[in-house]
Amino acid sequence: MIWRFRDRHDAGRQLAARLEAYAGRNDVVVLALPRGGVPVGYEVANALGAPLDVLTVRKLGVPDQPELAMGAIASGGATFLNKDVIAVKHVTDEALRKVEKRERTELERREKLYRGTRQALDIHGKTVILVDDGIATGASMHAAVMALRSRLPARIVIAVPVAPADAVAALEQTADGLVCALTSVEFFAVGQFYRDFDPTTDVDVRRLLDEARKVPV
């Protein structure tokens, strides 16, 4: 196995090199999906000289196969459902509601933990670079884009280190732009492209957000 990225910080620096057109602009905001997207977003925001914030998203996993996304929810009330997965896995409405309720509770917990009393960055009329550490099914990104549209940004650009080709094709129809450092047709999981893919913790997220706020932009 040839690792493409040492860790999420390395992935963020490699991704930032592909986003140079957005550097030094006062209309650019970087939003990262916690938790794993925050180290990547931190490096992107630092390289571009842009402010960093989080957009909290939670995957809705199939009840007996939680790693398989049947949808996702995002801050602001957006919900994306993969109806094909729900049908194939015979997920009932009741089961879906239970999963969504549990994940919304966790989403709200993380939102309060990461943001505290600080208001979300104003993205009205801005170019938003939406960052994660990779895309598997694309459900989380679909929900994130849906949530952001209601806040009226000028453009939404998805930026990720790695994603499968089919997910990239689908998301290109949803966002206004998409930058992916590595598109793979032999895709099993995001972690296969990282040498170090240890979980990002809540402490890590808060530390990186605090550090980003100290950097003048």
pLDDT in tens, 30-74: 999 999 999 999 999 999 999 999 999 999 999 999 988 899 999
pLDDT at 137: 86
More confident call, 199 vs 217: 199
* CATH number, span 8-57+120-214: 3.40.50.2020
**Domain 59-113 belongs in CATH node 1.10.12:** no
- For all residues of the chain together, what is the average pLDDT? 93
pLDDT at 185: 73
**So where are the chain's domains?**
8-57+120-214, 59-113
pLDDT at 102 exceeding the cut of 70: yes
Look up residue 67 and give its two tokens: 């790693």
